[in-house]
Amino acid sequence: MNTFLNVLSQYRDLISPIVKKYVDNSLIFAEYCQINPEYQDLIDFQHQLISEYPKRLGKYLRPSLLISTALSMGVSIDLALLPAAAMQLSEEWILIHDDIEDDSEQRRGLPALHKMFSPALAINAGDALHVIMWKVIGDINNKKIFEEFYQLLNRTTLGQTIDIKWTMENKLDITDEDVFLILESKTCYYSISGPMRLGAIVAGASDSELNTIYLFGRYLGRAYQIIDDVLDLTSDFSGLKKQQYNDIYEGKRTIPLAHLLRSVNPSELKDITVILSKNRYQKSDSDVLTIIELMKKYQTIDYAKLLATEFSQKAKQILDQDMAFIKIEPYRQQLYSAIDFIVNRDH
């Protein structure tokens, strides 16, 4: 796992300055629409808003997967850097909007942007970063890259719609397959398949190779999100997360929750239904602990961990048997280490 953490750090050091450059340059306007210098304080304020999440430097998992894939297929890293920066910028604006939609308290160990300022200003900052992302994609000037970003982000927003809708409706008859529908959109494609497919597109991959990558990401993405959901129940994310059990407070439809809902007896299901019908701020600590104790009783976390392990093994099998085109070392090995990192990480 430490090996892949080093990979993440290495690629982050290459990509983050590009992200910063595009964020900074977005406030340098063309001559015909220059801003009067007397309003410089407003430009500075906009810069503060749009640079807040990028400067917090996330793990850079997605752009790192993109670069590892491209390099494993023989491409110069210079060709992969702009797609990687666009991938990271997509995460920055999506997280701002996601935090508003979930009314999250924190992001990367600090207050969420809408808590620092206001939901309206945070939405606009997310919109600005979205625009900057498309500027980077435009500078790449590759129709296949553009189309992949479109498919990737279009599917991601659908997944978010489903996630929000089922939470708002307090959907209880939720199956693992229902959860996988959300995961395939928001995690499998966005976090694993999409970045890797972008790296492969840079390398001139065939449709068959791209389809294989999608299948690989479907399994690894499921493992990634399930482990994330388990960590929400068991970890403080190395001190970065002030409040545990966010998924329960937010009513997220996860694999652990789906397993619990079909395992409990009718009386327990009635109690859970009442708790889940409350919004984040109506739920008491006692409400949340009731669900946690039931998860322990029905071994929900063990079930989720086992499922994640099975999916990671399927991903590794596909990498072994069907992805010979991912062949140049040490980059192929980086993808192996990514699988181990995703399953064994503690934050």
Q: Largest Cα–Cα distance of the chain, in whole Å?
A: 68
> Which is nearest to 4 in space by CA: 250, 290, 337?
337
Boundaries of every domain in the chain: 2-344
Q: Do β-strands 106-107 and 110-111 pair in parallel, antiparallel, or remain unpaired?
A: antiparallel
CA–CA gap between residue 84 and residue 103 (Å, rounded): 28
User: Which pLDDT tens digits describe the chain residue by residue (347 residues)?
Assistant: 558 999 999 999 999 999 999 999 999 999 999 999 999 999 999 999 999 999 999 999 999 999 999 999 999 999 999 999 999 999 999 999 999 998 988 999 999 999 999 999 999 999 999 999 999 999 999 999 999 999 999 999 999 999 999 999 999 999 999 999 999 988 999 999 999 999 999 999 999 999 999 999 999 999 999 999 999 898 764 555 556 788 899 889 999 999 999 999 999 999 999 999 998 889 999 999 999 999 999 999 999 999 999 999 999 999 999 999 999 999 999 999 999 988 888 77
Do the Cβ atoms of 205 and 73 come closer than 8 Å? yes
- CATH for 2-344? 1.10.600.10
For residue 298, the SS3 value is coil
The stretches of 26-142 forming alpha helices (DSSP H) are: 40-56, 61-72, 77-102, 113-116, 119-140
Residue type, 265: N
Can you tell me which residue has the tokens 């982050």?
A: 12
271-314 tens-digit pLDDT: 999 999 998 889 999 999 999 999 999 999 999 999 999 999 99
> Which is nearest to 212 in space by CA: 116, 78, 121, 325?
325
> Which is nearest to 57 in space by CA: 184, 240, 202, 231?
240
Q: Which two tokens stand for residue 338?
A: 């990514």
Burial bucket for residue 138 (CB in 10 Å: 0-12, 13-18, 19+)? exposed
Residue type, 34: Q
Do the Cβ atoms of 142 and 148 come closer than 8 Å? no
pLDDT given for residue 234 in this prediction = 85
Do the Cβ atoms of 120 and 58 come closer than 8 Å? no
Beta bridge partners of 107: 110
pLDDT given for residue 42 in this prediction = 97
Residue 21 has, within 13 A of its CA and on its CB side, a CA count of: 11
> Which is nearest to 90 in space by CA: 66, 72, 69?
66
Beta bridge partners of 106: 111
